[in-house]
Amino acid sequence: MQVLDRAAAHEARGHRVVRLEVGEPDFNTCEPISAAGIEALRRGQTKYTSALGIAPLREAIAHQYEQRGVRIHPERVVVTAGASGGLLLLAAALLNPGDELLITDPGYPCNEVFAAAVGARARSVPVSPVNRFQPSGRDIAAAWGPAVRGALLASPANPTGTMVPANTLGEIAGVIDSRQGFLIMDEIYQGLTYAPVDYTTVLEIAPQAIVLQSFSKYFGMTGWRLGWVVVPEALIDGITRLAQNLFISPPTVAQHAAVAAFTPAAMAEHEARRAQFAQRRQRLLQGLEAHGLRVPVAPDGAFYLYVDVSSSGLDSETFCLRLLDEFHVSCAPGCDFGSNDAERYVRFSYTTDLESIELGIERIGRALERFRGES
Ligand SMILES: Cc1ncc(COP(=O)(O)O)c(C=O)c1O
């Protein structure tokens, strides 16, 4: 938040800030989705819906899993107010006061807040470049304690962009099963991957897992606040009651718009955007490495690079604040994502166009000259 506020202050003073801290696509929602949303408004589809979402959307979501060889009944698809709404529902359904939830450090910073909101606690599993910033089955087993009820992992993850390899995922699922725990896999960056992947959903490997998904990232719909979870049958009743009470229903216009997200025209647009992200990723990776910054693990997906800035001679928070104040490039310090080696890492997002990325790389080069010259 400090970085956001400072970046905005520099912009207000007329400086061009290269924004490499933003966690949402710079593209607007594509035309077929927006058109469907406008049409829904015109037709007056503005009332509450079923708490679990409209049938055509739940069916469309189930269908796109089926196209990937995973059969799930639409009843198991729960449409939510973003993945954030899904996280709140899952926390409320699965955790009691005093329970513990395993999460990774670094990881998505809000995860621990969802656990805390229902009186539970997050227990961190430190991850590092040695395991591509993802836990192994052994790490999960070692972190498990009497109060742990399950694990929440992400693949690809924020802030590192790395995926859990398929064989590791199988091991993790086995460890959790043997403890009668639950595995929630946050797949909100699925689709935004840049090399062949060995699975597209945890359900291919662990059919009993819970999937957290969103229309925010791959589908470019952050502001529409729409996501979904896929839950085992045994959870449907509890989740239904919670959804009715906590949300009444997910946003109606957004749901009608999102039905169009899976049409061939919209998917072609999403894939074209993915190709642009791939180009940007490549350029930023090259540019930072050419300046001697280490990217210990080339990410598989999302739109982030998790970069070791220790060669600058500064800790990551000072690096971010000075890069912003003196060179007008904003990025997110590792301490936003946990405490494990956080002073070494910075997250750069490539959610801006190539021209801005070039400018950012050039400014970062000048910044490093200055910082290294001082130490
Ligand atoms: C890993 C991860 N999970 C969940 C979310 C929440 O996304 P939303 O509520 O927009 O679907 C985010 C947002 O950045 C995220 O990075």
H-type alpha helices, the chain: 2-12, 31-42, 55-66, 82-94, 111-117, 137-143, 166-178, 236-246, 252-259, 264-290, 316-327, 354-374
Asked if residue 250 has its Cβ within 6 Å of ligand 1, the reply is no
Structure tokens at 168: 């590791």
pLDDT band at residue 47 using 50, 70 and 90 as cut-offs:
very high
Q: How far is the CA of 83 from the centre of ligand 1 (A)?
A: 6
The answer to whether the beta carbons of residues 325 and 318 sit under 8 Å apart is no
Residue recorded with tokens 């035309």: 31
Q: Is the pLDDT of residue 82 over 80?
A: yes
CB neighbour list of residue 237: distance below 8 Å, 6 or more residues apart? none
pLDDT band at residue 198 using 50, 70 and 90 as cut-offs:
confident
Asked if residue 216 has its Cβ within 6 Å of ligand 1, the reply is yes
Asked if residue 188 has its Cβ within 6 Å of ligand 1, the reply is yes
Q: Residue 2 has what pLDDT? A: 84
The helix or strand, by DSSP H or E, that contains position 105, with its residue range, turns out to be strand 100-105
Has domain 2-23+266-369 been given CATH number 3.90.1150.10? yes
Residue extents of the structural domains in the chain: 2-23+266-369, 37-261
Asked if residue 213 has its Cβ within 6 Å of ligand 1, the reply is no
pLDDT band at residue 335 using 50, 70 and 90 as cut-offs:
very high
pLDDT above 70 covers a percentage of the chain that reads 100
Q: How far from chain centre, in Å, is Cα 313?
A: 30
Q: State pLDDT tens for residues 240-249.
A: 999 999 999 9
Q: Is the pLDDT of residue 375 over 80?
A: no
Mean pLDDT of the chain: 97
CB neighbour list of residue 9: distance below 8 Å, 6 or more residues apart? none
Asked if residue 158 has its Cβ within 6 Å of ligand 1, the reply is yes
Q: State pLDDT tens for residues 122-154.
A: 999 999 999 999 999 999 999 999 999 999 999
Average pLDDT over residues 78-82: 98
Average pLDDT over residues 256-284: 98
Residue recorded with tokens 């290269």: 18
Q: How far is the CA of 368 from the centre of ligand 1 (A)?
A: 31
Q: Residue 96 has what pLDDT? A: 98
Query: CA-CA distance, 28 to 31, in Å (whole number)?
Result: 9
Q: Residue 121 has what pLDDT? A: 98
Q: How far is the CA of 86 from the centre of ligand 1 (A)?
A: 10
pLDDT band at residue 83 using 50, 70 and 90 as cut-offs:
very high
**What letter would DSSP give residue 81?**
S
Has domain 37-261 been given CATH number 3.10.105.10? no
